[in-house]
Structures are given as C-alpha cells and as structure tokens.
Amino acid sequence: MATVKGYISSKVNKLYLKISDDELDAALAESEVDGDATYDNTTARGANIVLLGIMPELLAMPDIAEDSLSVKFDRDAILKFCSLIAAKYSLNDPFEVDQQNSIVNISDIW
C-alpha cells in the first residue's frame, strides 16, 4: 500500500514538478498529516489538502530554456487538475479567481 507521502510525491512527479523530501515533510507537518500513514479513504482528504497547499509554490517555478533544450510546464492543465481535486473534496480552489474582489471600471457611471 502507498503512503500519504508516496501518493503526494507520485502526483507531483506525474506533473513533472519537483519537491524535495524536506519541503514535503514540512508541508505534511504544517497540515498535521502523517506522511507515513497508508493512503486510503480516511487519509485521502488530508493528503489532497497538502497537495493543493504546495501547488502554488511549485507552479511559481520558471520555465527553463538553454540552447535547444527547453522545459515548459503546462500550467493550465495543472490548474485544472487542482480544480478537480478541490471540487472532489469540497475544498476551496487556491487558483480560482474571486470575481467579487476584482477591480471593475465604473468611471462611466459618474
């Protein structure tokens, strides 16, 4: 059986993102999730909360280009993946744009 830490590492690696063991351990500790616990129905929600919590920092990593080699992240696909996880567990989507807090031009009203 997979552990919570192994599940999160697998998901991050599948998206071609990188996270160190120390960063993952810190994220698990901050969320009070046992990384050594077996991943199952009882630990899935906590594991995915941690996964969503680390995604903003991972997505901030720049694309890399050197000579003819380039590594680009499909950020739109990763954002959709995060939205699916958030919806599945009824969590707040960390990437959802809040329309109520956006700036709107109302100068034509005056």
Residue 57 has a pLDDT of: 87
Q: Please report, for the chain, the start and end positions of each structural domain, with discontinuous segments joined by +.
A: 4-95
Q: pLDDT digits over 50-104, tens only?
A: 999 999 888 888 888 888 888 788 888 888 999 999 999 998 887 776 655 666 6
Buried b (16+ CB within 10 A) or exposed e, 46-77: bbbbbbbbbbeebbeeeeeeeeeeeeebeeee
Q: Which of 90, 4, 65, 86 is nearest to 40 (CA)?
A: 4
Is 83:90 a contact under the CB 8 Å cutoff?
A: no
Percent of the chain with pLDDT over 90: 50
Percent of the chain with pLDDT over 70: 92
Residue 99 has a pLDDT of: 52
- How far apart (Å, rounded) are the C-alpha atoms in residues 43 and 4? 7
- Please say if the pLDDT value at position 47 is more than 90: yes
- Please say if the pLDDT value at position 108 is more than 90: no
CA-based angle 59:25:79, to the nearest 5?
Answer: 20
